[in-house]
Structure 1
Amino acid sequence: MGADSNVAPVIIKRKKVVGGGGHHGGAWKVAYADFVTAMMAFFMLMWLLNATTEKQRKGLADYFNPTIAVARISGGGTGMLGGDNTFSEMTLPQVGTGATSERPAESDSARGTFTQGEAQDAEEEALRELEQKLLGRTGESALDDGLMRHIVTRLTDEGLVVELYETAESRLFDDSGRPTPLLERLAAAVARVADMVSNPVAVEGHVRAYPIVLAKNPAWDESAQHAGHMRDLLWREGLDRDRVARVTAHADRDPAHDNPMDPRNTRLEVIFLRDR
C-alpha cells in the first residue's frame, strides 16, 4: 500500500555557521613596522645632513636624480649583450634643443666651462669647505682641542684668512725666535687642509708692541723672521713652494687687540688668496 499523500513533508534546515570570532590582532604590527622604518629613515637623513658638506649633499641628491647623467660617455659594452646605458648621448631623448658634451652650443655653460660668476661661486664654496674642515664644523677637525683656541678664520675679499695666535701661556716662538712645537703642529694642520684647494698662499707676520723706551724697535725684523719661519714650516709639511705668493712683515702696525702689548697681537696669518 502506498504512502499517505496527506502527510506533510519533512523539511531539514541546515544553517551555515560562519565564524566571526577570528584573530584580528596583526594589523597594528604592520603599521608599527612602517612607523619604525619611517623613523629610521628620518634619523638617517638627519645624520647625513649633519655629517656631510653642501657639496657632498648635492652629490647624494644628484645620485638619486634619474634625470642627471652620471657619466659623460656610454657605459655599455660592444659585444653581443653590449649596448648603451640610459644616459648615453644617443639614448637620451632628443628634442632639438640644448647641447651635450660632444655637441656643445656656443654658451660657456653648454661647453662645460664656468662663467666668471660661476667660477667665483665655486671658489667661495671651496674656501668655505676648507674653513669648515679646519675648524671641525663637518664633524671631523684637523685640529685638536689644544690647538683650536689658537686659531681664528674669516672670509674676506682677499680670501680665507687663517690667524694663528700666541697667548701668554702658549707661545708660537721661543726667546730665540725659533718656532715652538705648538706652532709646528699648527703649521702641519694648515698644510694638510691646504691640499683641498689650489689657491695661492700669502704668509704675514705680526708682533705685539715693545715699550717705547727701547733704543731700537725690533718689531719689523721679528715679524719678518716669524713670517719666514712659518713659510718654511708649510714647505716642510708638504705645501707646494710655487703656491707661496708673498711673505709680508707688519711689525706692530696692525694689532688685533686694543692693548698694543697684548700677547695675542703676536700672530701669523696664512691667507688662501682668491684667484683674480
Structure 2
Amino acid sequence: MSDDDSKSQPIIVIKKKGGHGGHHGGAWKVAYADFVTALMAFFLVMWLVNQSMEVREAVSGYFQDPVGFMEKLKKGGSSVMQGGSSTIKMFKYDQDALKEKLLQQKKILSDVGANLKEAIEEMPDIGNMKNFVEFEVTTEGLKIQLIDASTASDSAIFFDKGSSHLKPMASLILTA
C-alpha cells in the first residue's frame, strides 16, 4: 500500500455508550396512590364540614356499621335521613302517567312547530326561504333546522359566505 491509499481511507471510531441501567421500579405509583387517597379523604372531610347534622349522622352511621347500613338499604327500610320514607318507594313512578305526560308534551311541541311554520309561510317578504326551515319533534324537544344550502345560482340563504352576520331576510324568519 502506498501513502496515498492510507490517507484516503477514513478512520472509523466506534464508541459504545453505557447501558440504560435497567428497570427503575414503580415505587412512585404507590406514593401517588397514597397521595390521591389522602386528597380524596381531605375533600370528603371538607364536604362533611359543610353538611347538615342529618347528613353527618348518616355518614357516621355508615362508617360505624357498613354492613348493617347496607342491609337497611337492601330491605327498603327507612331512609338514611331521619323521618324519610323507604328508599325504594321514592323511585317508583306511574308508567302510564309518564307516558301520557310525554304524549302531551310531544303534542304541545308539534303544535308549536306547526304555529311557527304557519307564521313563516304567512310572511310575504321571504319568498322561497320558508322551504329551507324544517321543524321536527325529537326526544330532546322541538328541533328547528335552518338549512343554508346554497345552489350554484344562489348565494347563501341565511349567511353570506364566510360571514357570521345574518342576512336581513334571515332575521325576519328568526323573529317570526
Same fold (TM over 0.5): no
With CA pairs under 8 Å and 6+ residues apart, which has the higher RCO, 1 or 2? 1
Q: Which has the higher strand share?
A: 1
Q: Which has the higher helix share?
A: 2
How would you bin the TM-score normalised by the shorter chain? 0.3 to 0.5
The normalised TM-score by structure 2 is: 0.35
